[in-house]
Amino acid sequence: MAEGPFFRAQTPLHPDHLWIWEKAVYVDENRRTWLPITIEIESSLQVLLRQEDVPLGDPVCPSQLGPYLLPVMWQLYPGRRYRASDSSFWRIVYHIEIGGTEDMLLEQLPDPEDE
């Protein structure tokens, strides 16, 4: 029986901050670029962030983005979560690195005032 490629998943360090650079591109404190894929499931909002190196154009101001579903900035908080620029909290569902590619899935937590 032939063996296929073997990849070991690693748990990398979470970025301290993620800032919007241009529509659909975030940058962390180490100038690594992250590409978001938004997932809406019933009343839940999730975003899959994939760390991929992409050439950066000029940064945009948030006002130049127009209506945008995701926050312009996330800051790492204790308890495996991020606080967004709109004061919402996002839970880190997972953050893995496999074969040199990092994926991080965030899920927006319900606003306690809405409950």
What CATH number should be reported for the domain holding residue 21? 2.40.15.10
pLDDT tens-place string over residues 72-94: 999 999 999 999 999 999 999 99
Find the mean pLDDT for residues 8-20.
89
Give how many domains the chain has, as a whole number: 1
Cβ contacts of 19 within 8 Å, gap of 6 or more? 26, 27, 28, 72, 73
List, in sequence order, every beta strand (DSSP E) within the chain.
17-22, 25-28, 33-41, 44-51, 73-77, 81-84, 89-98, 101-108
The pLDDT > 90 percentage for the chain reads: 69
pLDDT-derived band at 34 (thresholds 50, 70, 90) equals very high
Enclosing domain of residue 36: 17-108
Residue 3 lies in a domain: no
The pLDDT > 70 percentage for the chain reads: 90
